[in-house]
Structure 1
């Protein structure tokens, strides 16, 4: 059976482990491709990327084995990187083609406002943790008592917020031919207007799905998210075959 590739891109300061429950809930005909950005998880030996262009270069290399149609599920920061990735791939002739970008837990980039002034890389530890929490994220209290882990977490957050800053400064208006399916927790910080702005980044239309929960709704409602993903990609596969 041919499986439909679904690239999974995680949030700032996180790893692909955030998708564990979703991966377990996906039907057999969807092939999850969870990727850890440089500096964490299976890519922990690599230097963290600090610009969207650098991160997309890395993602293009890591997804080169995919041939034909695929989809992307990007959570928070991953939604912006997913948009940048599929827009980059559309500049090429033939090869990979994204049918659907699932943009999770983030506002449409055109009207997005950066949560800090100046360079993310120059932001101190306390401030970067405060920004992460104000943006809907979660900072583990155990970090406060472990200097080495705290320093590493702050370093990753700075790099990842620099990615977001780079994307919004240079690529917030990039457009994809893929349909954008917006997924968000009902208690997250993003308004309906902010979510609706994703339509400005697609020539194929958008739809919005709200789930119970906050910024990490997909961990507690993986089956519901998987149902939305499966329904969309099953229709896409059927249309491709016909």
Structure 2
């Protein structure tokens, strides 16, 4: 099973969640360049290259993909490009469906304030310290800017994408940014279900046990 983290996060983001499922599932937590163990690599700002990069890191077929926030869109993009039968289950957490978004974007954000505002408008959770620590904000700006560009690229690329995967949608009950979660059904020819759990936008960080239960119940039921 593949785990795809939110914007600006590496594979280590899933540490707490992995402790709850590692004894039952084989987890491949992947990360894009510019974060985690791939910190020194140039970032990717376009949907196609990002999906290709992550697909290459899966190391073979997967039974399920869990993507959170930006990772939900990356998970959909990866699932759309996989040539395997049966297709994986897509567990899309903490993001409104691409078809519910307006295609937008354009020039990359030119300031940290613009990058933070752009990610917040898409529902991203901005750490409080970025709003108060100017030096930290400036050091984080390149990755924030590039992940915002990637977000817009994914929305444009995925608005009409339809996959043959079963889709399980997860959302935190305290995540007020989510809209039209049922419309994830427009992205699949198979069944789509929506589950709201206690928790906020960074769902597997705020409620790892709840997310683990959904993952295990979904993946093991299909085994």
Aligned positions of 1:173-192 closer than 5 A: 173-191=160-178
Partners of 1:83 and 1:101 within 8 A in 2: yes
In structure 2, relative to structure 1, the CA distance for the partners of 1:53 and 1:142 (3 Å cut) is closer
- Report matched runs for 1:62-211 at 5 Å: 62-63=57-58, 65-67=59-61, 69-89=62-82, 92=83, 94=84, 97-113=86-102, 117-119=105-107, 121-134=108-121, 135-141=123-129, 144-145=132-133, 147=135, 149-191=136-178, 194-211=180-197
Distance in 2 of aligned mates of 1:133 and 1:164 = 12
Q: Aligned to 1:209, what secondary structure does the other structure show?
A: strand
TM-score w.r.t. the length of structure 1 is: 0.84
* Aligned-residue RMSD, C-alpha: 2.0
Offset, 1:8: 0.8
The Cα shift of 1:79 comes to 0.5
Alpha-carbon distance in 1 for matches of 2:42, 2:131: 21
Q: After TM superposition, give the deviation of residue 29 of structure 1 in Å.
A: 2.5
- TM-score with structure 2 length normalisation? 0.90
In the alignment, the residues of structure 2 paired with residue 15 and residue 144 of structure 1 have an alpha-carbon distance, to the nearest angstrom, of 23
Aligned equivalent of 1:47: 42
Cα 1:197/1:216, change in 2 over 3 Å? same
Q: C-alpha distance in 2, partners of 1:61/1:27?
A: 22
Q: Shift of residue 224 of structure 1?
A: 1.4
Distance 2:69 2:117 in 1: 16
Query: What is the rounded CA distance, in whole Å, between the counterparts of 2:196 and 2:76 in structure 1?
Result: 20
- Residue aligned with 2:87, SS: strand
- The question of whether the paired residues in 2 share the 8 Å contact of 1:49 and 1:55 is answered with yes
Tell me, yes or no, if the aligned pair for 2:65 and 2:90 is still in contact at 8 Å.
yes
- Shift, 1:27, TM fit: 5.2
Assess, with a 3 A threshold, how the Cα gap between structure 1 residues 97 and 62 changes in structure 2: closer, same or farther: farther
Aligned to 1:222: 208
Contact 1:129 1:139 in 2 (8 A): no
